[in-house]
Amino acid sequence: MSAPAGRARRVLAATAVAVAGTLAVGMAVAAPSSADAAPTLGQLAAAKGRYFGSATDNPTLDNAPYTAVLGGEFNQITVGNTQKWMYTEPSRGQFDYTQADRIVAFARAHDQVVRGHTLVWHNQLPGWIDTVPAGELLGVMRNHVANVAGHYRGEVVHWDVVNEAFEEDGTRRQSVFQQKIGDGYIAEAFKAARAADPNAKLYYNDYNIEGIGAKSDAVYDLVKSFKQQGIPIDGVGMQAHLILGQVPGTVQRNIQRFADLGVDVALTELDIRMNTPRDAAKDAQQAQDYRTVVNACLAVTRCVGITIWDFSDGYSWIPSVFPGEGAALIYDENFAKKPSYWAVYEALGGTTTTTTTTTTTTGDNGTGCTATYRVVGQWHGGYQAEVTVRNTGTAATTGWRVGWTLAQGQTVSSLWNGVLTTSGQQATVRNATYNGRIAVNGTAAFGFVGASAGTNPAPVITCATT
Ligand code: G3I
């Protein structure tokens, strides 16, 4: 198969999409909804000169609801399994690209760039590898890399050339390649990949190297020595299989130190797992964790893109490997967007906030207020909003009242820092006992979680001091 040279670069340089701009006080801005044709994660990432993608595997390509999201939401795809050695060279010297070609064709049809995964890895190898005499394995490895990277020449923007070559303590993993070829096998794999596809960016890829530590130090030293020796390496892939609430504090600094060596960085397999089942608190933490990771990447110019390791909790590798854990992705099993989706969306510059303010002049003794309504998270069937009341008068308030209409059948299911009453479609929130007094130009805020069946546009909100 062939593709026009430079296709990948053109896609990555895709025209910036129109992203809703800064919200202005006093303006009502529509929340994204299907009717509003909100930008996709891929479009938002492209507007920042990056990609946001997903891994995928062949069985799901026949699942229409799945492929609708895969093809529509992302501007990058990683071949999750079927470019691995056991699939591409099941018998020595016999290459089979049937399955991986299908994924690459899907990506091409949806204008998505492809990360190739992976040329040399200790896992998912065909059984015959173990029978190759030590003296022949370097030739076998070079031949494999030449064939696979050659087959996808022009189709793959990044190759994970070598995957997971280090142990947690920074020593070399004793893979068949390490044992039979020795330390030099990694450099040889990169040289073979460069020869096979000179335009693909060549990555070293590993897990638990997102933060600074013994393992990432070992990778750092490898990259540094490759750079010094002129061995071709273009990027480091940090897999980012993370745990809820445990995003390493050094992620951004770590990405930056690799960038400073003169290589790109990609977050290649992001997921953030939790003990199942999900609940609202875990979802909120996960959203915060995704936001932290995306922001860390965006803060470093050479962090070129982020890939999640499949996008739906129903198609994740986690539950089968970590029983009792899962819900690690940004869509649920039914392809509904989770709070983590909206966190990524916002971090990439998308606007989910709906803001409207109304000033009242009815307060006593020079008091008055504005109320700012903001949707801070939306998911299938629900949303979380926050309302900030500001004292715009010349004296402290003793109480306040905010009102809006639940015009689209929304409900408010729980509310904090205020007292809710509803009458038909009218919602009214009065201050709680402890936050009625707002100093001049000070604020009080309340929040709530609600349900919304369809669109959830910004309400007109009123505010009065009492
Ligand atoms: O293809 C067979 C199928 O015929 C059989 O019916 C089925 C029964 O279990 O197994 C299928 O193979 C599975 C394969 O995925 C394809 O679904 C293997 O058992 C299973 O072990 C394999 O897991 C993959 C794993 O790599 C192997 O280590 C995951 O899907 C894949 O997501 C995962 O990806 C890795 C990255 O490549 C590297 N970084 C870590 C990441 C997560 O482990």
Q: 60 C-alpha to center of ligand 1: Å? A: 13
Structure token pair of residue 67 = 């492929």
57-87 tens-digit pLDDT: 999 999 999 999 999 999 999 999 999 999 9
Q: Does the CB atom of residue 171 touch ligand 1 within 6 A? A: no
Strands 325-326 and 264-275: antiparallel
89-113: b (≥16 Cβ within 10 Å) or e: beeeeeeebebbbebbebbbebebb
Alpha helices in 96-213 (DSSP H): 98-109, 134-151, 176-180, 185-196
> What does DSSP assign to residue 292?
H
**Which atom belonging to ligand 1 lies closest to the Cα atom of 239?**
39
In this structure, the number of other CB atoms found within 10 A of the CB of residue 14 comes to 17
**Is the pLDDT reported for residue 21 higher than 70?**
no
Q: 182 C-alpha to center of ligand 1: Å? A: 27
Q: 95 C-alpha to center of ligand 1: Å? A: 20
Q: Which residue, 300, 299, 318, is CA-closest to 308?
A: 318
Nearest CA to ligand 1 atom 11: 81
Task: Please check whether residue 297 is in contact with residue 349, taking contact to mean a CB–CB distance below 8 angstroms.
Answer: no
Name residue 425's amino acid.
Q
433-454: b (≥16 Cβ within 10 Å) or e: eebbebeeeeebbbbbbbebee
**Is the pLDDT reported for residue 112 higher than 50?**
yes
366-401 tens-digit pLDDT: 778 989 888 877 666 778 888 989 998 888 999 999
Task: Please report, rounded to a whole number, the percentage of residues in the chain having pLDDT higher than 70.
Answer: 89
Residue 466's pLDDT band (cuts 50, 70, 90): confident
Name residue 142's amino acid.
R
The catalytic position among 164, 188, 210, 346 is 164
What is the rounded distance in angstroms from the CA atom of residue 239 to the CA atom of residue 180?
A: 26
236-245 tens-digit pLDDT: 999 999 999 9
Q: 81 C-alpha to center of ligand 1: Å? A: 7
**Is the pLDDT reported for residue 454 higher than 80?**
no
Residue 458's pLDDT band (cuts 50, 70, 90): confident
Which 3 state secondary structure label does DSSP give 194?
helix
| Angle (CA) 146 147 152, round 5° | 100
Give the phi and the psi of residue 158 in degrees, each rounded to 5.
-130, 145
**Which atom belonging to ligand 1 lies closest to the Cα atom of 55?**
32
> What does DSSP assign to residue 453?
S
269 is catalytic: yes
The catalytic position among 89, 188, 210, 269 is 269
164 is catalytic: yes
Q: 87 C-alpha to center of ligand 1: Å? A: 11
Q: Does the CB atom of residue 123 touch ligand 1 within 6 A? A: yes
What is the rounded distance in angstroms from the CA atom of residue 41 to the CA atom of residue 47?
A: 10
Task: Please check whether residue 54 is in contact with residue 77, taking contact to mean a CB–CB distance below 8 angstroms.
Answer: yes
Pocket test for ligand 1, best of 273, 309, 317, 325 (most atoms within 8 A of CB): 317
Q: Does the CB atom of residue 205 touch ligand 1 within 6 A? A: no
Q: Does the CB atom of residue 269 touch ligand 1 within 6 A? A: yes
Respond yes or no on whether the N-terminal peptide bond of residue 277 is cis (omega within 30° of 0).
yes
Q: Does the CB atom of residue 116 touch ligand 1 within 6 A? A: no
Q: Which residue, 31, 3, 27, 8, is CA-closest to 376?
A: 31
Task: Please check whether residue 305 is in contact with residue 45, taking contact to mean a CB–CB distance below 8 angstroms.
Answer: yes
Q: Does the CB atom of residue 239 touch ligand 1 within 6 A? A: yes
136: alpha, beta or left? (left if phi > 0; alpha if psi -120 to 50): alpha
Least confident stretch, 19-23, 159-163, 452-456: 19-23
Q: What is the mean pLDDT of residues 122-141?
A: 98
336-359 tens-digit pLDDT: 888 899 899 989 998 766 666 677
- CATH number for the domain running over 5-347: 3.20.20.80
Task: Please check whether residue 210 is in contact with residue 254, taking contact to mean a CB–CB distance below 8 angstroms.
Answer: yes
Q: Does the CB atom of residue 124 touch ligand 1 within 6 A? A: yes
Of 3.40.190.10, 2.60.40.290, 1.10.10.1100, 2.60.40.10, the CATH number of 369-465 is: 2.60.40.290
What is the rounded distance in angstroms from the CA atom of residue 221 to the CA atom of residue 374?
A: 46
Please give the torsion angle defined by the CA atoms of residues 164, 166, 168 and 169, in that order, rounded to the nearest 10 degrees.
-170
Nearest CA to ligand 1 atom 15: 81
Q: 327 C-alpha to center of ligand 1: Å? A: 18
Sequence spans of domains, the chain: 5-347, 369-465
What is the rounded distance in angstroms from the CA atom of residue 143 to the CA atom of residue 145?
A: 6
